[in-house]
Homo-oligomer: A and B are copies of this chain.
Amino acid sequence: MTARLRNPVLANATPRRRSHGRVTLQQIAEAAGVTKITVSRYLREPQRVASETAARIAAAIEATGYLPNKQAGMLASGRSKIVAAIVPSIANSVFAETVQGLSEGLQDAGYELLLASSGYSIDREEEQIRAVLGWSPDALAVTGRHHTPAAAAMLRAARDAGTPVIEMWDWHPRDADFVQVGFDHAAVGRTMARHLVDGGRRRLLYVDTGVTEDFRAHERGKAFVAAARAYRGVSAQAVTAPPDDAFEAGRAVLARTLDTDGRPGVDALAFANDNLACGALLEAQRRGIAVPRDVALMGFGDFAIGRQLGGGLTTVRPPRHEIGAQVARTILGMLQAGPASGARHASQRQLRCALVGRRSTAPAEPAPLAG
């Protein structure tokens, strides 16, 4: 109520308050008859406040519905308790499970997850990285090891400033600027090729996704073709599926492989994901093409539907949930170790994929699936 002087000469202007209307720590403090810092302590380390004081503070908080302003807390402390993650797509169930694992692992440690999706575009990823860094996350997880130069620069800068940066879903022995938690997609491609060749298949086709910046799928395909061709008497090629609905795309690709007799011109197809493979499987059933007798089909991802169709779709099961869980553990470890320690040089984390053999690639047998 007293006039406030803020110029040696001039006097008494009404203080221009800019309050935004929410209940503040100050108000709780007044209500409880203490100062702000005591309330602040109560919130963070309740046992360091006298129990009687604590009770009064608790009552005031309860009565007002006070919610601490996290912006202010972060600004003052420099710690955000936020981990940012950028995935290609949140709609894709594959990444959804990773996010779930990450979220679970962080929640217990009191971290919140700031999630962004790039739509499989590294340009959008760059924007998203810039956006989330503005929030000063305590750690940052991105998907894959392919970034724009500007994005890579921001990631390096963040890491060098002590913020853990993790690349998820990838693992590459020689191209690892950052800590990686994932698996070797080239190795998966080779495993897929070997599985088909071991099953007696000789004319292979890899069907890549129409999503142009799914680098990991491309890498599997490239390795698949190279590995297949290294076998004597085996031919292999790659095609790209149309960008439609994956089931329809898979159907279309199978239809395209038919030769003049209406039989597939190849004896095995490996797909970039299970939905594509399921589309092909359904189209084969519809046309009376016997799977696996006439053609073997396999996918990647181990989606639920693959277990249901025909006698089951052979696939590769990536550690979807485990990637997220491991990323959470790695981040917490790096955070605990502190920027000064050597934790930033923590070794890459290679996780394992499982080949799930089902009927769609079984070696020739008497009773085909369809036809």
Which A residues have a C-beta under 8 Å from some C-beta of B?
Answer: 18, 20-22, 65, 67-72, 74-75, 78, 80, 90-91, 93, 96-97, 99-100, 103, 112, 114-115, 117, 130-131, 133-136, 153-154, 157, 161-162, 245-247, 275, 278-279, 282, 304-305, 307-309
> Does A161 lie within 8 Å of B96, measured CB to CB?
no
> Does B21 lie within 8 Å of A134, measured CB to CB?
no
A308 partner, pick from B157, B247, B307, beta carbons under 8 A: B247
CA distance A278 to B74 in the complex (A): 48
A93 to chain B: which residues have CB within 8 Å? 91, 93
CA distance A278 to B246 in the complex (A): 17
Between A and B, 8 residue pairs with Cβ closer than 8 Å are A22-B161, A65-B157, A69-B136, A70-B135, A91-B96, A278-B305, A279-B308, A305-B305
With contacts A91-B93, A91-B96, A305-B247 taken as known, whether A136 is within 8 angstroms of B65 at the C-beta atoms is no
Minimal Cβ-Cβ distance residue in B for A131: B112
> Does A21 lie within 8 Å of B75, measured CB to CB?
no
> Does B304 lie within 8 Å of A282, measured CB to CB?
no
> Does A75 lie within 8 Å of B71, measured CB to CB?
yes
With contacts A22-B161, A308-B279 taken as known, whether A134 is within 8 angstroms of B75 at the C-beta atoms is no
Distance between A356 CB and nearest chain B CB, rounded to angstroms: 15
With contacts A96-B90, A100-B91, A308-B279 taken as known, whether A134 is within 8 angstroms of B247 at the C-beta atoms is no
A246 partner, pick from B96, B130, B162, B304, beta carbons under 8 A: B304
> Does A134 lie within 8 Å of B69, measured CB to CB?
yes
Kindly report how many copies of this chain are found in the complex they form together.
2
A131 to chain B: which residues have CB within 8 Å? 112
Minimal Cβ-Cβ distance residue in B for A250: B308
A154 to chain B: which residues have CB within 8 Å? 65
Minimal Cβ-Cβ distance residue in B for A132: B112
CA distance A275 to B308 in the complex (A): 11
> Does B115 lie within 8 Å of A115, measured CB to CB?
yes
CA distance A134 to B245 in the complex (A): 39
A278 to chain B: which residues have CB within 8 Å? 305, 308
CA distance A99 to B99 in the complex (A): 15
CA distance A153 to B63 in the complex (A): 12
A117 to chain B: which residues have CB within 8 Å? 103
A74 to chain B: which residues have CB within 8 Å? 71
> Does A130 lie within 8 Å of B71, measured CB to CB?
no
A68 to chain B: which residues have CB within 8 Å? 134
CA distance A71 to B304 in the complex (A): 42
With contacts A96-B91, A112-B131, A161-B21 taken as known, whether A245 is within 8 angstroms of B136 at the C-beta atoms is no
Minimal Cβ-Cβ distance residue in B for A129: B67
A282 to chain B: which residues have CB within 8 Å? 308-309
CA distance A75 to B72 in the complex (A): 6
> Does A75 lie within 8 Å of B75, measured CB to CB?
yes
> Does A70 lie within 8 Å of B304, measured CB to CB?
no
A162 to chain B: which residues have CB within 8 Å? 21
> Does A133 lie within 8 Å of B97, measured CB to CB?
no
A96 partner, pick from B96, B103, B112, beta carbons under 8 A: B96
A112 to chain B: which residues have CB within 8 Å? 131
A90 partner, pick from B70, B99, B304, beta carbons under 8 A: B99
> Does B67 lie within 8 Å of A134, measured CB to CB?
yes
CA distance A157 to B66 in the complex (A): 11
> Does B134 lie within 8 Å of A78, measured CB to CB?
no
A97 partner, pick from B72, B91, B136, beta carbons under 8 A: B91
A130 to chain B: which residues have CB within 8 Å? 67
